[in-house]
Chain A
Amino acid sequence: MNTPLCKYLRTKKMFVPVHEAEALTEAAEAGTEADAFYWCNCTLSEIGADDKPAHLRACIPGRICFKE
């Protein structure tokens, strides 16, 4: 993705080196494989500090809790 993502956004594939490069890409959400779940490292929850879901397309600039 070209849009910057929050530094606290996490998903499992980020921690699996063979999948790390594709972890935060559109392909991960393409629907041809099981799609991903995300969490926020600030809250350690699937819900971010602003009470909204952590997600590849949601943890972007403009969100109140976004951190570069």
Chain B
Amino acid sequence: MLSWPEKRDVIGQSTPRVDAPAKVTGAAKYSSDVQPEGWLYGMIYRSRWPAAKVTGINIEKAKQIPGIKAVVVERDGERTVRFYGEELAAVAGTSKQACLDALLVIEVEATPLPFVVKEEAARNPNSPRVWPDAANLPEPNVREKGDVDKAFAAAAAVVEGFFTTPTQLHQPLETHGNTVSVTYDGVTCWASTQGIFSVRDGLADYLEVPHEKVRVITDHMGGGFGAKFGPGAEGGLAGRLSKAAGAPVKLMLTRFDQSLAVGNRPSSFQQIKLGADADGKMVAFEMNSFGTAGIGAGASSAGGGGGAGFPAPYIYVVPNIRVKQSSVAINAGQARAFRAPGHPIASFGMESIVDELAVKLKMDPVELRLKNDPNKIRQREYAIGIEHFGWKQKYKPPGSSPGPIKVGVGCAGATWGGGGRGTQADVQINPDGSVEVRCGTQDLGTGTRTLVAVVAAEVFGLKPEQISARIGDTQFPPSGGSGGSTTAASVCPAIFDACTNALQDLQKKTGVADARGSNWSAACRKLGVNPLTSHGKWQEGLSSSGAGGVQFAEVEVDTETGFVKVRKILCVQDCGLIVDKLTCETQINGGVIMGLGYALYEERVMDSATGVVLNPNFETYKVPNFADVPEIEVILVDMPERGVIGVGEPATIPTAGAIANAVANALGVRVSSLPITPARVLAALGKVGKVGSKA
């Protein structure tokens, strides 16, 4: 069985991105930058009704607009639309303005239907049904263990709380979209995707062409957080437009489109009760929760929650539990996977009630966690965090901070699976000593290309910049989609195997006993004029799954304005073998910043009267900017014996819970709904009226 080298020269160091020069000079072409010859703009005509029966779509006038080369209807025949923004038709033209003009003259015959866009209203059996044959609110999923009622009756301390989290919109800097070229010879798609082979699979079925006739390229892409799998409706429509127009069509969603129809993190409303004995050992947990995954929720999904379920009780072992979860359908865009699906929701509710329990027991919150969290890695991480954060000096009784600007601290933990499998790679060693590594993975912006170069450089005794890491093309050996924090753990072992094979082949062919490092050039020259190519694949023993991670937050809260400023986040994170310390740290930074947005700013706001998303742009849907970002300290717990474990997801999970606990510690009262806006802070302090949870 292969194993990572005991002594590592490149792996584990802080290696700058190998594609950084291309990115900062603009040479790197993102999927949205691609402009094949003769390309056309593509745009989508979307439903203006949150619910309606559509009986006809007339595209004839749109076809007559100057510059318009193709117009297609998304689906023939009568249909029902179920949310504002559902795709109805698409246009392709020589300019953006031509497309906008064409969208204006598409005529739709539609009969508006009753609709509901708020979770609380949708739960009412008398509310309009999203799906006529199924209730909006299905029977809950129920899980029960032990004797909950008896355990609560015997508990020394019992706390209860109602916690809500918002629908969070997917907002990568590069919106969803593709440029698709359909010719007699096949289909080429430049996709902003987390899975090039998933796009190939989707386009092949949708356009009815063989897989081998579809090539998908993702050289650089601007972020994906779980929702960019498959070509999406926008990819399929771009393909049909290209076929109709006989030209490539670039259909990148507008920010408005992005906010309506390509997924979101479901909302949650969690009624939680937690009991413990006098020593702080948790004995009983009960939760009744609901949330929405938009049109994907409700009884129509035949028992599934459409993404609105989440693990509970989160990370702590409680012997007696009763959990009832349901997901209610509303007339809004469907949820999709969103960075650590379910976990930030679960973490916020659970970590909030744990801190409430600590207050009731008059116990240090970290001490309470250590009593109830059996995970050895998190125990170790809490110990590191206590020391580095100065927890014992900083933690004060809730609300005891003096003055109008109050300071508080909080903490929270996380768990995530990850793991790797299923990647293959080719390595080509050229007589001039250059090395090309080819792998059909994709780099979401996390640094996958750099990881490929780092692993290859380690094996060959070279520098990462000497490796040409070629990824993002379905013509390369296959790899899986980048989801679930599995990319590093899937790709790195395959690259290691392929490079190890290549090194052995080179040494065998040239007779050079050790071709690495300073011997490399001479050994490669012995190849003559023909390159050497070797293959490799993911191997057992080089990766594993299961990451923990804890975070500590320090905040200051202005009790006169309600403004929360996060001073510092400390993240103590394990991720197995660290391949590139720099990319690992930056990915954690990104996770923390996303968690900050979830904690303080982000929330989709639906309008009950019109059914529209009221904040479908960055003016009204706030994400963190640089001024909002606190000091982020990352302590990596290096565990090379575990092999590679992904880190994309765990770092975003506990941030909101840690911040919420810090705010509660500062104020002495809890803001139990995310995002923790100034209005909600002032409401918690009794200075303004209660702010709705947007249900």
Hey, which bits of chain A sit against chain B, CB under 8 A? 8, 10, 12-13, 15-20, 29, 31-39, 41-47, 49, 51-53, 55-58
* Option from A33, A44, A55, A58 in Cβ contact (under 8 Å) with B233: A44
Evaluate contact between B197 and A15: CB separation under 8 angstroms. yes
List residues of chain B with CB within 8 A of the CB of A57. 301-304
Give B60-87 as 1s and 0s: 1 = Cβ < 8 Å from A's Cβ atoms.
0000000000000001000110100001
List residues of chain B with CB within 8 A of the CB of A16. 480-481, 483-484, 486
List residues of chain B with CB within 8 A of the CB of A31. 141, 143, 305, 309, 323, 325
Evaluate contact between A56 and B79: CB separation under 8 angstroms. no
List residues of chain A with CB within 8 A of the CB of B670. none
List residues of chain B with CB within 8 A of the CB of A18. 418-422, 480, 484, 486, 489-490, 545
Evaluate contact between A41 and B480: CB separation under 8 angstroms. no
**Could you tell me the distance between the alpha carbons of A49 and B79 in the complex, rounded to whole angstroms?**
10
B131: Cβ under 8 A from any A Cβ: yes
Q: Majority SS of interface residues in chain A?
A: loop
* Option from B205, B229, B296, B311 in Cβ contact (under 8 Å) with A42: B205
List residues of chain A with CB within 8 A of the CB of B80. 51
Q: Which of B334-342, B528-536, B555-563, B564-572 contacts A (4 or more CB under 8 A)?
A: B334-342
Evaluate contact between A53 and B335: CB separation under 8 angstroms. no
Evaluate contact between A46 and B197: CB separation under 8 angstroms. no
* Option from B198, B295, B301 in Cβ contact (under 8 Å) with A15: B198
List residues of chain A with CB within 8 A of the CB of B309. 31, 33-35
Give B7-47 as 1s and 0s: 1 = Cβ < 8 Å from A's Cβ atoms.
00000000000000000000000000000000000000000
Evaluate contact between B423 and A17: CB separation under 8 angstroms. yes
List residues of chain A with CB within 8 A of the CB of B310. 33-34
List residues of chain B with CB within 8 A of the CB of A53. 131, 295-296, 300-301
* Option from A20, A35, A45, A51 in Cβ contact (under 8 Å) with B308: A35
Evaluate contact between B75 and A41: CB separation under 8 angstroms. no
**Could you tell me the distance between the alpha carbons of A33 and B307 in the complex, rounded to whole angstroms?**
9
Give the interface centre of B263, B420, B421 by most chain A CB atoms within 10 Å: B421
Known A34-B309, A57-B303; contact A15-B229, beta-carbon cutoff 8 A: yes
* Option from A8, A12, A32, A37 in Cβ contact (under 8 Å) with B306: A37
List residues of chain A with CB within 8 A of the CB of B202. 10, 41, 44
Known A12-B229, A18-B421, A33-B311; contact A41-B201, beta-carbon cutoff 8 A: yes
Shortest B523–chain A CB gap in Å is 34
List residues of chain B with CB within 8 A of the CB of A44. 202, 206, 230-233, 235-236
A–B complex contacts, Cβ < 8 Å, 15 sampled: A12-B483, A16-B481, A16-B484, A16-B486, A33-B342, A35-B307, A36-B307, A37-B263, A37-B296, A38-B304, A41-B201, A43-B236, A51-B80, A52-B300, A57-B301
Known A12-B337, A29-B303; contact A34-B295, beta-carbon cutoff 8 A: no
Tell me how many residues of B have a C-beta within 8 Å of chain A: 63
**Could you tell me the distance between the alpha carbons of A12 and B301 in the complex, rounded to whole angstroms?**
17
B226: Cβ under 8 A from any A Cβ: yes
B680: Cβ under 8 A from any A Cβ: no
List residues of chain A with CB within 8 A of the CB of B447. none
Evaluate contact between B230 and A10: CB separation under 8 angstroms. yes
Question: A49's closest neighbor in chain B, by CB?
Answer: B75
List residues of chain A with CB within 8 A of the CB of B131. 52-53
Q: Which of B321-357 contact A (CB under 8 A)?
A: 323, 325, 334-337, 341-343
Shortest B340–chain A CB gap in Å is 8
List residues of chain B with CB within 8 A of the CB of A47. 82, 295
Question: A16's closest neighbor in chain B, by CB?
Answer: B483
List residues of chain A with CB within 8 A of the CB of B82. 47
**Could you tell me the distance between the alpha carbons of A10 and B337 in the complex, rounded to whole angstroms?**
13
B195: Cβ under 8 A from any A Cβ: yes
Closest 4 CB pairs of A and B: A17-B422, A34-B342, A57-B302, A34-B341
* Option from A15, A37, A51 in Cβ contact (under 8 Å) with B335: A37
Shortest A19–chain B CB gap in Å is 6
**Could you tell me the distance between the alpha carbons of A22 and B301 in the complex, rounded to whole angstroms?**
19
B293: Cβ under 8 A from any A Cβ: yes
Question: B479's closest neighbor in chain A, by CB?
Answer: A17
Shortest B46–chain A CB gap in Å is 13
* Option from A12, A32, A49 in Cβ contact (under 8 Å) with B481: A12
List residues of chain B with CB within 8 A of the CB of A41. 201-202, 205-206, 230
Evaluate contact between A58 and B301: CB separation under 8 angstroms. yes
Shortest B296–chain A CB gap in Å is 5
List residues of chain B with CB within 8 A of the CB of A42. 205-206
